[in-house]
Amino acid sequence: MNTNKGMREHAPQHFNTLARSLHWLMAAMILAMLFIGAAMMTSLHHRIWLIDLHRPLGIAILLLAVIRLANRVFSRPPPLPADLPVWQVFAAKASHWVLYALMLTMPLLGWAQLSAAGVPIVMFDGFNLPPVVPASPAVYAWCHDAHRLLARVLFAVVLVHLSAALVHAWIYRDAVFASMAKGGKPSQEP
């Protein structure tokens, strides 16, 4: 028996329930954050309310990203189709790791930005996060610019990710989209 074929037959066909749940929850949260962030920059009337929503949502994304990353490390994802071109396999894997990096980096930069501004990081009434960097106008400016730039990168990567998912669902009609969209019977390990 071909070893690769044997491994592929026993590989999971779907991401596990935790991975799928976190994927869809975080997709909604990240899209909300992108729109909230854009609205914060354009609305004076709702700015404070949007910032008060942005902070805890960002920290929630950070915590969920850590859980999601741990799940990804300890739970084998389903394989990509064997006939997928090498460049698409590389692009898929690279984009996932870029998304993980952004899900971790963006909230940390926001936290550092507020810390550098000397602003208390209020999660909810009576609970503040500790500062992660000392107050510094230079650090604040750097974190602000990096956070803004990476938000644009995140938006672009999300668009590419969504486009690729829809191509797999509607054009290729392979198992890639289904592996995250729905569960299946767990494969039997030998």
Give the tens place of pLDDT for each residue, 37-68. Answer: 999 989 888 988 998 899 999 999 999 999 99
Q: What is the C-alpha separation between 173 and 19, in angstroms, rounded?
A: 22
Q: What is the C-alpha separation between 48 and 165, in angstroms, rounded?
A: 35
Segments of 16-165 assigned E as strands: 121-124, 127-129
Amino acid at 167: V
Give the per-residue pLDDT at 182. 82
> Within the chain, which residues score under 70 in pLDDT?
1-10, 183-190
Give the per-residue pLDDT at 187. 44
Give the per-residue pLDDT at 78. 92
Question: Which residues neighbour 158 within 8 Å (Cβ) at sequence distance 6 or greater?
Answer: 30, 31, 34, 99
Residues in the chain: 190
Q: What is the C-alpha separation between 154 and 49, in angstroms, rounded?
A: 23
Give the per-residue pLDDT at 121. 87
Q: What is the C-alpha separation between 94 and 69, in angstroms, rounded?
A: 14
Q: How many CA atoms lie within 13 A of 138 on its CB side?
A: 0
Question: Which residues neighbour 169 within 8 Å (Cβ) at sequence distance 6 or greater?
Answer: 176, 177, 178, 181
What are the structure tokens assigned to 161, written together?
A: 């990710």
CA 133 centroid distance within chain: 24
Give the per-residue pLDDT at 106. 97
Give the per-residue pLDDT at 44. 83
**Residues 133, 115: contact at Cβ < 8 Å?**
yes
